[in-house]
Structure formats: C-alpha cells, structure tokens
Amino acid sequence: MTLVVEAKQKLGHFSLDAGFVSEGGVTALFGRSGSGKTSLIRVIAGLLKPDHGRLVIDGDVLLDTQDRIFVPKHRRRFGCVFQEGRLFPHLTVRHNLDYGRWFAPKNAPAADFNHIVELLGIGALLDRRPGKLSGGEKQRVAIGRALLSAPRLLLMDEPLAALDDERKAEILPYLERLRDETSTPIVYVSHSVTEVARLADKVVMMKDGRVEAAGTPSEVLGGTVFLSSDRRDAGAVLTGTVETVDIPHRLATIRLSAARIVVPDAHVAEGRTVRVQIPERDVMIATRRPEGLSALNILDGAISSIEPDGEGMVRIRIRCGGDMVLARITALSVERLDLRPDMPVFAVVKTVALER
Amino acid sequence: MDWLVLSDEEWTAIRLSLRVSGVAMIVSLPFGIFVAYLLARGKFWGKSILNGVVHLPLILPPVVTGFILLILFGRRGMIGSFLDEYLGIVFSFRWTGAALACGVMGFPLMVRSIRLSIETVDRKLEEAAGTLGAHPAWVFVTVTLPLILPGIIAGMILSFAKAMGEFGATITFVSNIPGETQTLSAAIYTFTQVPGGDAGAMRLTLVAVAISFAALLASEFMAYLVGRRVDIE
C-alpha cells in the first residue's frame, strides 16, 4: 500500500500546506490542536476539498485539483472513526456495524463480522442502542463499523480524545491488536504523545498547517524538532518485546535491545512488540548503583551527550545498550555530579512514571 | 337521546371531511418534505421568496387564499384549464378542490414542523454515513429520514388538523355542495344558518372534537414509539 497526500488550503487566516507518503502500517498525524492535522485527514476522507491537492492510493487517483478529479467520500472506501463516535442513534449496535457492509461493493473482500466483534470485545452489546453505551464502548463500535465497511484505509481522527484516561487505557490495547492483526493501513490523528508512541509506525509531526518532521516514532519524538517544541512531554521512545507479565502485581517486563524495564500493565500478551515512551523529566541519573530505592528500573549505560538549554536545565542522552534514554536534570546537578560525556551512569526510572 | 343519532347527510359530511383531510395530508407530504429540506439545507437565490410563498396561506385571510386558488385552479384558471385539458383533473366544485384548499392551508404548518426537525439533525451523522459508502440519496433515506420522523409525524397531524378545521378557503374555492364539497365545518356552518339546526350543529361539533382528540392522541402515541426507538441521550 502506498498513500500519497498533498493539500493546500486557505481557511481564514490559517493556511494548510502539508503532505506525506505512507507505505502502510499506522501513520500518525501528530501535533497540537490547530496544527492542521484534522484538516489534512478531512482532505483524505473527502470531507474537505482543498484549493490544491493530490491524493493517490496504490496508483488510484482520488483527488487531483489540476486534473479536476475529486472522488466523493462515499466512493473512496475509507473507513472513518471520529472523535465523537457518530453512531446512528436509531439503529442497534448490530445494524450500526452492518451499515458499512450494506454499501460495500460486492467484490470487496468481506471483513469477518465475528472476528471483528471478538477483536473489539463488543459481542455483548450487539442488541443495544448507542444511547445506552459508555464512551469507550461507543468508540469500539465506531471502530468496528468502519472496519466492517471493508475499507482500503482506516482514518481515525482523535478517536480517544473525548475519553477519560481509564477509557483510553481500555481502548489502546484494542487498537494495538487492530494494528497487529489486520492488514488495513491506518492514518491516526492525535495530539497525545503516549498514543502516538504506542501505536504509530510512522509519525508526521505538524505545526501551523505544515509538516515539521516525519519519520519513525523514535526519530520524531526523540528528535530535536519535537524536543525543542514540546518540553513537557518529551522523552525517548523505545521498542521492545514483552518478556513476562506479572499478573498479581499488574506489571509487565519489557525487553529492550539490552536492558529490561518494568511497566505497569498486565493487559499485554507475552511476546508482543510494544513501544514505551520514557518521559525525560521522570529520569534520574546516579553515578553509582543506587540501593534501598523504590524505583524498579535502574538501567546502566554511558552518557552520550550533554545539552544545556540555557535556562538552567540540561538534557542528557544516555546510551543503554542499543537504546538511547533521555534525562532532563538541572545544570546544578550536572555540576554537583561532575557529569561528562562517556561517563558510566545509571538511569533511574520509577515504574509509575511509565503508566501507558 | 335521539338527538345524538347522526343523519345520513351528517355522516356524508364526516366521511367527506376525513377523506379530504386524509388526501390533503398524504398528497402534500412529499412536497412538504422536499420544500422543508430545501429551506433547511438549500443555499440558492430566492430562498426567502420561497419561504414567503410557503407561509402566505398562514398570513393571508383564508378567503383570499380561496379566491387565489379559484383564479389559478378554476376551470378557466391558468393552471386549472391546463390540468383539465391535458390530465383531466378538475378541482373546481369537486371534493378534490376541497382537498387542494385544505392541503395548501396546512402546508406551512407541515413544512415548518419538518424543517425544524431537519435543522436539528446532526449533520456529522450524515457525514459518517457518507464515509461508510452510502450515496447521498441513501444517506437521506437511511439516516436523515428516520431521525426526522417525529417532525414528519407532527407535521402530518398539524396538516390533518388544519384540514379538518379549514372553512374559509374551501368555501370560497369549491363552495358548499352537500355530498361533494360540504365538509364538517361547512356543515356545521350550514346548520347554524337554518332555524332548529342547533342539534345538528351540536352533534357534528362533538364529532369534530372526538376526531381532533383522536388525532392528537395518535400523534402522541407515534411520537412515543419513535422516541423510544430513537432514544437520543
């Protein structure tokens, strides 16, 4: 699957001028509200016609303003999941799920109803009406409805933004399964670092209607553009495999390239590939292995670089095996510990700080 | 209790009234939905003119509306002569004319009710239906129409009730011919014009009250059914 998007549009004093290429998997459009990510996904869905633009999926041109091509939304076969669910209130959950199937072309590969219902855990809701569902349940049904329309691309516009943290935590594992168990490529709009870090294969970071950076989650979320623009959420994004799950303590151990870290999550399956973001402000540095400390994660590594930001804070990159961990500490601490590049140190991370 | 027994003429008037009102309501419904949709969603030149024309029967004296209908749809009228010649439809002094007059008088009420319900439909739902592959016409049938059903029912009942009570435009347009154009209201009026007609007027009044009440109850019941089905939070 190859998706090429380009769009230029003036909307009042905001102008969108962005584009990206996706080769499948989950592409996250990431940025703050007002960065134009929702406008861009609306262009892809056919809900917004840009002044200038091009949209090609696998050689099929769906939008080309130069050649005056504009395929309307109902002929694009893109499944959409919106922030508010948008379930049809006059239909049961089952009929909502069927809605997309009624209009799917007969020769389209039919998505397996039972498999998707099971995947999203909505089997018990089928005969209920959307009005009686919780926010998380509604969103799962909305995802199922989009999937069952046999889409060639799934578009998700902040599907978790309207939910509280607990509901988010409830749905994220379903989205991870979706990514791993279906072959449908996904474009995912979000302003949440956690969601993007966990789900995306590729991140397109947007700001003021333009693409600021694009690449893998580790590249973009650990890169200088993001780190200098968003200090609160900055941190290293690491990929690993779930090694063991400690159900009584509700913890999971994730094996990185060399080190292991413990995260608070008992809902993942062993052997699954996951991504973890380690917020840099939650990482402490010790020059000797600490003892009598509650923190479960003590990673040994060596300082790779020390970058002062000129405001009394310093970002330190620590190489731990093949992974790079970021830490944000005060310049005073750097002086007191006399930290220098290549010095062996221990990065200390509380498990609680890694709540995904 | 003999005075409560309805005479044949009175039964005729009641049946005629029900037929005229029913036909007026059913025939104006598709036009009502179409115009309401245009007014709620359309962006075109002359929208406020259309809105004004639709609402005219509500503002004009019914007699004036009836006279305008007579000019337009009478045998020699612009539209009336055309319909008579090519389609064989005659309105003047027929029950069909009474239905036309009643439909026109009830039209603004019907359009208003449907238009308001179209305006409350969440267009994001229609957008979602479109992204699921539904052609705009199917979106209207499968999403918009079910969601505006309460407004349509309310509009139909209003139109029916207006038709049952319509007097001025009907009597001006198609006169007061027993068995052809004499509706319930016209029959009551006729009774009040003859000595000793009070009992007949009373009987028909009771019938009119009963029919209106039944229509109201029916609309409440249907709104309840629809409300239970749609059940928006």
Q: Let me know if residue B136 belongs to a domain.
A: no
Q: Is residue B198 part of a domain?
A: yes
Neighbours of B88 (CB within 10 A): 7
Write the pLDDT tens digit of every residue in A29-85.
998 888 889 999 999 999 989 999 999 998 889 999 998 989 999 888 898 999 888
Stronger pLDDT, A34 or B31, i.e. the higher one = B31
- pLDDT above 50 for B233: no
Structure tokens at A108: 């389209």
> CA-nearest residue of chain A to B229?
A90
Instruction: Determine the Cα–Cα distance for residues A182 and B133; give it in Å rounded to an integer.
Output: 20
B28 pLDDT higher than 90: yes
Q: Cβ–Cβ of A132/B231 closer than 8 Å? A: yes
Which among B127, B134, B231 has CB closest to A103? Answer: B134
- Cβ-based neighbours of B45, under 8 Å, separated by 6 or more: none
B63 pLDDT band (50/70/90 cuts)?
A: very high
- Choose the final residue of a domain: A193, A210, A229: A229
Residues A33 and A143 in one domain: yes
Q: Do A212 and A243 belong together in one domain?
A: no
A31 in contact with chain B, both atoms CB, cutoff 8 A: no
Q: Give the gap in angstroms from C-alpha B20 to the nearest C-alpha of chain A.
A: 33
Interface of A with B in 70-99 (CB under 8 A): 72-80, 82, 84, 86, 88-90, 99
- The count of CB pairs under 8 A between chains A and B is 73
pLDDT in tens, B32-55: 999 999 999 988 898 999 999 999
Give the one of A90, A104, A146 whose C-beta lies nearest to B230's C-beta: A90
For residues A116-146, one letter each, b for 16 or more C-beta atoms within 10 angstroms of the residue's C-beta and e for the rest, the string is bbebbbbeebeeebbeebebbbbbbbbbbbb
Q: What is the pLDDT of residues B85-142, one digit of tens each?
A: 788 778 888 899 999 999 999 999 999 999 999 999 999 999 999 999 899 999 999 9
- A184 shares a domain with A251: no
Q: Render pLDDT for A186-237 as a digit per residue (tens, 0 to 9).
A: 999 998 888 888 889 899 999 888 998 888 888 888 777 776 676 667 788 8
Which domain covers residue B160, as residue numbers? 2-121+151-230
List pLDDT tens digits, range A101-135.
888 877 767 678 888 888 888 889 999 989 888 88
Q: Do B232 and A89 touch (CB under 8 A)?
A: yes
- DSSP track, B30-49: HHHHHHHHHHHH---TTHHH
State which residues form the domain around A14. Answer: 3-229
DSSP A163-218: S-HHHHHHHHHHHHHHHHH----EEEEES-HHHHHHH-SEEEEEETTEEEEEE-HH
**Do A126 and A271 fall into the same domain?**
no
- In angstroms, the CA B100 to CA B28 distance is 9
Residues A241 and A321 in one domain: yes
What is the tally of structural domains in chain B?
A: 1
Regarding whether A339 and A254 lie in a shared domain, the answer is yes
Q: End of a domain among A173, A203, A229?
A: A229
The answer to whether residue B139 sits within a structural domain is no
Residue A210, token pair as written in the block:
């333009």
pLDDT, tens digit, 9 for 90 and up, residues A323-340: 889 899 999 999 999 999
Of A229, A253, A275, the one marking the end of a domain is A229
Return the closest-CA partner of residue B129 out of A246, A322, A157, A142: A142
* Torsion sign over Cα A323, A329, A334, A337: negative
A144 to chain B, any CB pair closer than 8 A? The answer is: no
* Residue A304 confidence (pLDDT) above 80: yes
* pLDDT confidence of residue A271: 83
Output the average pLDDT for chain A. 87
Q: CA B145 to CA B139: how far, in whole Å?
A: 9
State whether A121 and A182 are in the same domain.
yes
Region for B24 from its dihedrals, namely left if φ exceeds 0, alpha if ψ lies in -120 to 50, beta otherwise: alpha
Q: Above 70 in pLDDT, residue B83?
A: yes
Span A236-250, pLDDT tens digits: 888 888 888 888 888
Instruction: Give the pairing type, strands A26-30 and A202-207.
Output: parallel
Full-model pTM:
0.81
What mean pLDDT comes out for the span A331-351? 91
Q: What's the CATH code of the domain at B202?
A: 1.10.3720.10
pLDDT > 90 in chain B, percent: 47
Q: Is the pLDDT score of A88 beyond 70?
A: yes
Rounded Cα distance between B185 and B197, Å, is 14
What single-letter amino acid sits at B91? F
pLDDT computed for residue A142 by the predictor: 93
pLDDT attached to residue B76: 81
Q: Are residues A18 and A154 in the same domain?
A: yes
Contacts of A318 (CB under 8 A, 6+ apart): A283, A285, A299, A301, A302, A303, A304, A324, A325, A326, A327, A345, A347
Sign of CA dihedral B116, B122, B127, B130: negative
CB contact under 8 A, A79 and B131: yes
Radius of gyration of chain A (CA): 22
Residue B174 lies in a domain: yes
Answer for the pair A218, A238: CB distance below 8 angstroms, yes or no: yes
Q: What is the pLDDT of residue A230?
A: 65
Record: contact B131-A74, CB cut-off 8 A = yes
pLDDT at A345: 93
What is the C-alpha to C-alpha distance for residues B230 and B233, in angstroms, rounded to an integer?
A: 9
Q: Any idea what the CATH number is for the domain that residue A168 is in? A: 3.40.50.300
Residue B230's pLDDT band (cuts 50, 70, 90): low
Which residues are registered as beta bridge partners of A214? A204
Instruction: Please check whether residues A169 and A287 belong to one and the same domain.
Output: no
Provide the 8-state DSSP code for B86. Answer: I
Beta-carbon count within 10 A of B184 CB? 25
For residue A329, give the CATH number of its domain: 2.40.50.100
Cα angle A230-A235-A240, degrees, rounded to a multiple of 5: 145
| Overall number of domains in chain A | 2
ipTM above 0.90, yes or no: no
Chain B contact set for A102 (CB, 8 A)? 134
